[in-house]
């Protein structure tokens, strides 16, 4: 049994994280190379080296034992996060031309943004291939069944109602309903439905109901209490190459906007921060999809995670790419470099904040697993 769990959960997790980390770091790498900046090391994972080789340009490529990230280290960097410049005084004048620390802030900004940018491009590519190859599948937001004892039944929603708006956001397909219900502040929704050509308005308090998960277990979740018009009633829309590209960009934009809305609600207190998940949650979701869903679901999940990795790295937290972006933008606007002492304090504060967030996310993951297996 443990061997099956290892295959279903650990292996897909390592594959998913390895692909996304490689894409992210390769973005930094390729833009640095094109900009004339020398890359000293490119690592997938941290800790003990498992395999490594040096290419003809001097970059040392390696796989390391702890597969929870990676880094792209530039010439002159004192550490993998490019937050320390110890040892720069030992570089020759020729080496300084190719060291990251001595580049102008515009070039630094381009290199730093390339990591999250490649995560976004990777997601766009996945969606583009899916849309171009298979077309666009969607389920119309029409209620086929109202669940007994649910919030929708209490409010007066009936089968045949077409949900057109939830909390001020237009509903175009069934998946939009799930997104808006998931993001509903204080578990309250204000929605419009189209019934017999007339628009009706409802204010509904969501109720906790049993929901079957991918692994067939039952969990409590705040739900509207409606079911779709049936799995076979999909509308299939063939897309041209141009339409597939536009649709893939829109999909990436929608996922980003939804994620930012959720983060904003957590910051304002309108949404519980218990939804913050980390590495364990990713491993759990990877395993569940591998066991119970199709390969296309796995690829779509990969795109979703790539978007989130790119977005999180753009948050203005020192140590993350977004923290570097803020510093380089300030240097561009001010016309002078921020002192190394100030940067040092910023990066230390950023590291502490990031560590606290990881601890909190891991705590949430553990609580989630306990509730999943013992509730």
- Do 19 and 121 lie in a common domain? yes
Look at the block and give the residue holding tokens 């290199």.
111
pLDDT at 81: 53
Look at the block and give the residue holding tokens 């297996």.
373
- Give me the long-range contacts of 334-337 (CB less than 8 A, separation at least 24): 337/105
* Three-state DSSP state, 211: strand
pLDDT at 77: 73
- Do 221 and 183 lie in a common domain? yes
pLDDT at 362: 84
Alpha-carbon span 315 to 188, nearest angstrom: 28
- Do 123 and 186 lie in a common domain? no
pLDDT at 230: 47
User: CA 78 → CA 157, 319, 360, distances in Å?
Assistant: 62, 13, 29
Alpha-carbon span 11 to 7, nearest angstrom: 5
- Whether 200 is in a domain gets the answer yes
Strand partners, 204: 189
pLDDT at 313: 93
- Whether 287 is in a domain gets the answer no
What is the separation, in whole angstroms, between the first and last Cα of the chain?
22
Contact present, 108 and 324 (Cβ < 8 Å) = yes
341 contacts: CB under 8 Å, gap ≥ 6? none
- Do 214 and 119 lie in a common domain? no
Number of separate domains in the chain: 2
Closest CA to 342 of 357, 330, 354, 358: 330
- Whether 67 is in a domain gets the answer no
List the Cα angle 2/8/9 in 5-degree steps.
85
* Three-state DSSP state, 14: helix
- Do 150 and 212 lie in a common domain? yes
Last residue of a domain, one of 179, 203, 237: 237
- Whether 261 is in a domain gets the answer no
Last residue of a domain, one of 220, 237, 254: 237
pLDDT at 231: 40
Q: Indicate left, alpha or beta for 277 from its phi (over 0: left) and psi (-120 to 50: alpha).
A: beta
- Whether 94 is in a domain gets the answer no
Does the CA dihedral 200-202-208-214 come out positive or negative? Answer: positive
pLDDT at 80: 59
- Whether 30 is in a domain gets the answer yes
pLDDT of the chain along its 375 residues, tens only?
A: 556 666 777 888 888 999 999 999 999 999 999 999 999 999 999 889 999 999 988 899 999 998 888 999 888 776 655 555 666 777 788 888 888 888 888 999 999 999 999 999 999 999 999 888 887 767 778 888 888 888 898 889 998 899 999 998 998 888 888 888 888 877 889 999 999 999 999 998 888 876 655 445 556 778 888 887 544 344 566 788 999 999 999 989 988 988 888 788 777 776 666 667 778 777 877 877 777 767 877 888 899 999 999 999 999 988 889 999 999 999 899 888 888 888 888 888 888 888 888 888 888 778 877 776 665
Catalytic annotation, residues:
25
Q: What is the extent of the structural domain holding 347? A: 2-35+103-133+308-374
Q: Show the tokens assigned to 202.
A: 């409802």
- Do 114 and 160 lie in a common domain? no
- Whether 79 is in a domain gets the answer no
| Confidence (pTM) | 0.78
- Do 118 and 163 lie in a common domain? no
Question: 161: domain CATH number?
Answer: 2.30.42.10
Last residue of a domain, one of 237, 257, 275: 237
- Do 334 and 364 lie in a common domain? yes
- Do 189 and 145 lie in a common domain? yes
- Do 107 and 161 lie in a common domain? no
- Do 186 and 109 lie in a common domain? no
Neighbours of 295 (CB within 10 A): 9
- Do 226 and 343 lie in a common domain? no
- Whether 343 is in a domain gets the answer yes
């Amino acid at each position: 049994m443990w061997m099956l769990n290892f295959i279903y959960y650990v292996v897909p997790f390592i594959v998913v994280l390895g692909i996304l980390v490689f894409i992210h770091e390769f973005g930094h790498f390729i833009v640095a190379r094109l900009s004339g900046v020398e890359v000293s090391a490119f690592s997938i994972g941290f800790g003990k080296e498992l395999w490594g080789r040096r290419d003809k340009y001097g970059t040392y490529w390696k796989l390391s034992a702890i597969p929870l990230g990676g880094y792209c280290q530039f010439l002159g960097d004192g550490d993998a996060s490019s937050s320390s410049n110890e040892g720069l005084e030992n570089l020759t004048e020729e080496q300084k031309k190719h060291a990251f620390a001595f580049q102008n802030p515009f070039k630094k900004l381009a290199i730093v943004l390339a990591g999250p940018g490649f995560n976004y491009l990777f997601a766009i590519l996945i969606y583009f291939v899916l849309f171009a190859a298979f077309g666009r599948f969607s389920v119309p937001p029409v209620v086929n069944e109202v669940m007994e004892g649910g919030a929708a039944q209490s409010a007066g929603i009936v089968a045949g109602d077409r949900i057109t708006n939830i909390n001020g956001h237009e509903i175009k397909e069934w998946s939009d309903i799930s997104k808006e219900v998931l993001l509903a502040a204080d578990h309250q929704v204000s929605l419009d439905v189209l019934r017999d050509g007339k628009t009706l308005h409802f204010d509904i308090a969501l109720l906790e109901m049993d929901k079957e998960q991918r692994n067939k277990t039952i969990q409590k979740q705040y739900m509207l209490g409606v079911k779709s018009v049936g799995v076979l009633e999909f509308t299939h829309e063939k897309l041209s190459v141009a339409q597939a590209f536009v649709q893939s960009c829109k999909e990436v934009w929608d996922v980003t906007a939804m994620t930012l809305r959720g983060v904003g609600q957590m910051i304002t207190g309108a949404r519980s921060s218990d939804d913050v998940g980390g590495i364990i949650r990713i491993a759990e979701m990877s395993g569940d999809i591998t066991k119970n869903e199709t390969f296309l679901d796995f690829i779509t999940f990969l795109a979703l995670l790539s978007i989130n990795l790119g977005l999180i790295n753009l948050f203005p937290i020192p140590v993350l790419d977004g923290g570097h972006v803020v510093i380089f933008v300030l240097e561009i606007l001010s016309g002078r470099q921020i002192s190394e002492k100030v940067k040092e304090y910023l990066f230390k504060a950023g590291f502490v904040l990031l560590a606290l967030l990881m601890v909190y996310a891991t705590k949430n993951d553990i609580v989630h697993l306990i509730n999943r297996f013992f509730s």
